[in-house]
Structure 1
Amino acid sequence: MIRIMKAGRVTAAVLAAGAVTALAGAPAQAATTATTATATWQENVSTVDYDDVNVSAANGTLTLADAAWHRTAQVFAGSEGSFVTAEHTLGAAANRVSAQLSADAPKGTTVDVEVRGRTGVNAWTEWTPAGTAFKTAVSSVQARISLHSDTDGLRPAVRGLALSADTAPQVNALAAATALTYKVYGTREGLIGGKTANGHIITSRDHFVALPSGRGLAPKGTGDYSVRVCKTDNSRCEYAPVWDVGPWNTKDDYWNPASVRYEYKDLPQGTPEAYAAYHNGYNGGKDDLGYKVGNPAGIDLADGVFWDGLGMSDNGNVNVSYLWTGSGPTGLVKTAGDPMNVRASASTSAAIKGLAANYARVNIECYVEGDSVTGTFGTSTIWDRIGAGHYVSDTYLQTGSDLPVAPHC
Structure 2
Amino acid sequence: MRIALRTRRHRLFAAGAATALCVGLGFAVAAPANAKPADNPSTWNADLSTVDPASSNVVTDGGMLRLGDQQARAASAYSNLRTGFAVFAPRTLPAESNTVSAIMDGTVGQGAEVAVDVRGLRKDGSWSEWTEVRPGQPAVLDRPTSTVQARLMLSAADGAAGPEVRRVELSSSTTSARPSAQVVLEGGGLTYKVFATREGLVGGTTANGHVIVERDHFVALPSRRGLSGKGSGEYSVRVCGDTKRCEWAPVWDVGPWNTKDDYWNPSDQREMWKDLAQGKPEAQAAYNDGYNGGKDQFGRKVANPAGIDLADGTFWDGVGLKDNSWVTVSYSWTGSDPAGTVKTNGGPVNVRSGPRLGDSVAGLAAHAAQVRVECQVKGDPVDGSQGSSDIWYRVAADKFLAKAYVAGASGVRDC
The alignment's TM-score, normalised by the length of structure 2, stands at 0.87
Measured in 2, the distance between the counterparts of 1:190 and 1:232 equals 21
Partner residue, 1:232: 242
Greater Cα offset, 73-82 or 112-121: 73-82
**Aligned: 1:211 with 2:227:** no
Distance 1:285 1:187, change over 3 A: same
Greater Cα offset, 269-278 or 119-128: 119-128
Partner residue, 2:33: 25
1:40 positional shift: 0.7
Measured in 1, the distance between the counterparts of 2:143 and 2:76 equals 37
Distance 1:162 1:170, change over 3 A: same
Distance 1:204 1:99, change over 3 A: same
Partner residue, 2:150: 143
Measured in 1, the distance between the counterparts of 2:60 and 2:344 equals 34
**Aligned: 1:252 with 2:232:** no
**Contact residue 379 and residue 392 of structure 2 kept, 8 A:** yes
**Contact residue 27 and residue 160 of structure 1 kept, 8 A:** no
What is the identity percentage for the equivalent residue pairs of Structure 1 and Structure 2?
47
Which runs of no fewer than 5 residues in structure 1 stay unpaired?
15-19
Partner residue, 1:406: 412
1:292 positional shift: 2.2
Distance 1:151 1:194, change over 3 A: closer
Distance 1:46 1:183, change over 3 A: same
Distance 1:6 1:377, change over 3 A: farther
2:103 aligned to which of 100, 104, 107: 100
What are the within-5 Å matches in structure 2 for residues 4-403 of structure 1? 7-12=7-12, 24-26=32-34, 39-66=42-69, 70-72=73-75, 74-75=77-78, 77-120=80-123, 122-130=125-133, 131-150=138-157, 152-169=159-176, 171-172=178-179, 175-178=184-187, 179-232=189-242, 235-399=244-408
Which runs of no fewer than 5 residues in structure 2 stay unpaired?
15-27
**Contact residue 342 and residue 405 of structure 2 kept, 8 A:** yes
**Contact residue 12 and residue 101 of structure 1 kept, 8 A:** yes
Aligned residues: 392
**Secondary structure, in 3 states, of the residue corresponding to 2:140?**
coil
The alignment's TM-score, normalised by the length of structure 1, stands at 0.88
1:125 positional shift: 0.5
Partner residue, 2:19: none
**Contact residue 278 and residue 293 of structure 1 kept, 8 A:** yes
1:76 positional shift: 5.3
Distance 1:174 1:54, change over 3 A: closer
Measured in 2, the distance between the counterparts of 1:84 and 1:284 equals 37
Distance 1:202 1:73, change over 3 A: closer
Distance 1:23 1:57, change over 3 A: farther
Letter of the 1:89 partner, please give it: T
Letter of the 1:155 partner, please give it: G
Letter of the 1:156 partner, please give it: P
1:23 positional shift: 5.7
Letter of the 1:169 partner, please give it: S
**Contact residue 4 and residue 111 of structure 2 kept, 8 A:** no
Measured in 2, the distance between the counterparts of 1:195 and 1:167 equals 38
Measured in 1, the distance between the counterparts of 2:330 and 2:46 equals 34
Distance 1:181 1:28, change over 3 A: farther
Distance 1:28 1:108, change over 3 A: farther
**Secondary structure, in 3 states, of the residue corresponding to 1:307?**
helix
**Secondary structure, in 3 states, of the residue corresponding to 1:10?**
strand
Distance 1:342 1:22, change over 3 A: farther
1:207 positional shift: 0.6
**Structure 1 runs, 4 residues or longer, greater than 6 Å off:** none
**Secondary structure, in 3 states, of the residue corresponding to 2:249?**
strand
1:299 positional shift: 0.5
Distance 1:349 1:254, change over 3 A: same
Q: Deviations over 1:190-230 (max 9, x none)?
A: 11111111111111111100111100000011110000000
Measured in 1, the distance between the counterparts of 2:372 and 2:147 equals 21
1:99 positional shift: 0.9
Measured in 2, the distance between the counterparts of 1:248 and 1:294 equals 9
**Contact residue 85 and residue 154 of structure 2 kept, 8 A:** yes
